[in-house]
Amino acid sequence: MAAGLREGLPAPCCPCGCAWYFRPTASIREELRTTGHAVRLETAGAEVGVVSVERAVTDWSARYFGQWWKAVEVEPQSVCAGPLVLAEIDPGAYGEAALAVTQAPHTSAVCAKAQLLVTRCEESGVVRAVSPDQALAYRSEPAGAILPPPRHPAMSRPCPARPIRWPGPVGIPTMACPQRKDPPVSRPRPVRAAVFSAGSWGTAAAKILADAGSDVIVHARRSEVADGINTRHRNPDYFPDVDLPASLTATTDPAAALEGADYLVLSVPAQTLRANLAVWAPHIGPDTVIVSLMKGIETDTGLRASQVVAQVTGVPADRIAVLSGPNLAREIMAGRPAAATVACPDEDVARRFQQACRTSYFRPYTSTDVIGCELGGAVKNVIALAVGIAAGMGLGDNAAAVLITRGLAETTRLAVRMGARPATPAGLSGMGDLVATCSSPLSRNRTFGAHLGQGMTVAEATAATRQTTEGVKSATAILDLARVHGVEMPITEVMAALLQGKIALDEAAAALMQRPPRPER
């Protein structure tokens, strides 16, 4: 298996004519052989080599697969592949692969607790697969060798393996995660949660967790916010009028916040996640579960927040959860009832977090559909912008209802095409959040839209908005995803054009109303 490869010649390589996006060139083979890193994974009956130019990839393989199989670091020259699997992590190449796989007849499977969409070319035997949860694409060739076979007797045996020394859990053969110091133990409550950051939703989520009995520490980037929480039990900037539980503390030190944390709960603006997380990642413990509260799509990559988390931290998908639903922070701070969905490929992880954040006023449900939950949360912000515009222009309640209903239709189309379960967009993270956000004057996205509808420019509306308005940046990223996946999203398309200054308000309304008539789907 060769992973993390970014160059190569796109070449048609199946008799069926399917063009694949990557073929290892001779120079890449040489680079892998000379400067690459390799890990051999052994089970009782099989062996596989992972070779990559990026150490992070082989480290991750050892850490992840080493929990079940024997993992040893070896010289890359010792790896001679028979069947060859290429794994591609480049977001652009992943997007192309996802499109190719989803447009061909394909099946859905679960591999390492993540969904895998698989298609096979009968003639060539080439298997292509994408894991939407992890933004990983694979291509398996029935034969081929990525590195030259050993040429002399000294090389005909595997190179002396360097064992990765960490104790495996009892009963599991050999090696486990290099970062794991002890076998997993069940922790007595209270669990410890570190909430990054101290904005609207971070503060409300911290309050929920503390009210549920968890030991909660908030990471604030400004010391005056941390001081306010520690000394006056109030968040002076976001909720100066609401008392926080006295047990809730805050710090500006990420290492202190993450010390012994069972959960890292992330609530920063989606476009800042990658850079922030890179700084925080070294302090994340080997067993810490990461929970994303964010409802945005990264503009440069088209990745969902959980995918960014996986990329930056190397934490496996079954330790990354998302919480999403109709959760206007101000209402939750007032103790008004709300519900949400906790989604994780590992339902046990989702159940544990469900327990950790269950209160008399907050009712979490569980799901394994991370894709559906995250897309529902991201797209509803764009639809809320449109509903806000309609409200600002005084277009009436019928128009709002049309936008919400057709907004749900386009959310569902995209989510299902990207691997979500069709029922998820109809749930709390989809329709539930869409209704709350599009109806409430508390919504920042709806309010931003209303400003536009009343005649402000995008720059003026941005200046008038202090808090995070994810839909403004995510609209274009979602539209790009729609195009990659061949899905029609007319409201998103019009919103992206409007936000980019390509069309005016009246043109936007006309563009939606004058679309060719069609059946309701």
Ligand X SMILES: NC(=O)C1=CN([C@@H]2O[C@H](COP(=O)(O)OP(=O)(O)OC[C@H]3O[C@@H](n4cnc5c(N)ncnc54)[C@H](OP(=O)(O)O)[C@@H]3O)[C@@H](O)[C@H]2O)C=CC1
> Which of 146/438 has CB closer to ligand 13P?
438
Which part of the chain contacts ligand 13P (CB under 6 A), choosing from 100-108, 237-245, 276-284, 436-444? 436-444
Residue 468 touching ligand X (CB under 6 A):
yes
Residue 436 touching ligand 13P (CB under 6 A):
yes
> Which of 310/329 has CB closer to ligand X?
329
Strands 215-219 and 249-251: parallel
| x/- map, 178-217, ligand X, by CB under 6 A | -------------------xxxxxx---------------
Question: How far apart are alpha carbons 438 and 445 in whole angstroms?
Answer: 8
> Does 63 count as an annotated binding residue?
no
Residue 328 touching ligand 13P (CB under 6 A):
yes
Question: How far apart are alpha carbons 446 and 461 in whole angstroms?
Answer: 11
Nearest CA to 340 among 224, 194, 205?
205
Among 118, 268, 481, 499, binds ligand X (CB under 6 A): 268
Do residues 281 and 287 touch, judged by C-beta distance below 8 A? no
Q: How far is the CB of 185 from ligand X (least distance, A)?
A: 32
3-state secondary structure of 19: strand
3-state secondary structure of 3: strand
Structure tokens at 401: 């209802």
Strands 84-88 and 2-3: parallel
| Sites for ligand 13P among residues 78-117 (CB under 6 A) | none
The count of residues in the chain is 521
Q: How far is the CB of 393 from ligand X (least distance, A)?
A: 24
The listed partner (ligand 13P, ligand X, none) that binds 272, CB under 5 to 8 Å by sort, is: ligand X
Phi and psi, residue 47, nearest 5° = -145, 140
Residue 433 touching ligand 13P (CB under 6 A):
yes
Q: How far is the CB of 197 from ligand 13P (least distance, A)?
A: 15
Handedness of CA 70, 76, 82, 84 (dihedral sign): positive
Among 95, 302, 326, 453, binds ligand 13P (CB under 6 A): 326
The listed partner (ligand 13P, ligand X, none) that binds 267, CB under 5 to 8 Å by sort, is: ligand X
Phi and psi, residue 341, nearest 5° = -115, 130
> Which of 70/444 has CB closer to ligand 13P?
444
Among 78, 214, 311, 327, binds ligand X (CB under 6 A): 327
Question: How far apart are alpha carbons 178 and 507 in whole angstroms?
Answer: 57
Look up residue 339 and give its DSSP letter: E
Query: How big is the site for ligand 13P, counted in residues (CB under 6 A)?
Result: 12
3-state secondary structure of 385: helix
Q: What is the DSSP string of 275-344?
A: HHHHHHGGG--TTPEEEE----B-TTT--BHHHHHHHHH---GGGEEEEESS--HHHHHTT--EEEEEE-
> Which of 78/327 has CB closer to ligand 13P?
327
Phi and psi, residue 407, nearest 5° = -65, -40
Q: How far is the CB of 203 from ligand X (least distance, A)?
A: 8
Nearest CA to 177 among 335, 39, 34, 347?
39
| Sites for ligand 13P among residues 367-386 (CB under 6 A) | 381, 384
Residue 293 touching ligand X (CB under 6 A):
yes
> Which of 202/364 has CB closer to ligand X?
202
The listed partner (ligand 13P, ligand X, none) that binds 313, CB under 5 to 8 Å by sort, is: none
Question: How far apart are alpha carbons 329 and 205 in whole angstroms?
Answer: 8
> Does 222 count as an annotated binding residue?
yes
Q: What is the DSSP string of 195-208?
A: EE--SHHHHHHHHH
380 among known catalytic residues: yes
Do residues 130 and 94 touch, judged by C-beta distance below 8 A? yes
Do residues 220 and 281 touch, judged by C-beta distance below 8 A? no
Known binding site: residues? 200-201, 221-222, 238, 295, 325, 329, 380, 433, 443-445, 470
User: Which residues here bind ligand 13P, judged by CB under 6 A?
Assistant: 295, 326-328, 381, 384, 433, 436-437, 443-445
Tell me the catalytic residues: 380
Residues near ligand X (CB under 6 A) are 197-202, 221-222, 237-238, 267-270, 272, 276, 293-296, 327-329, 467-468, 470
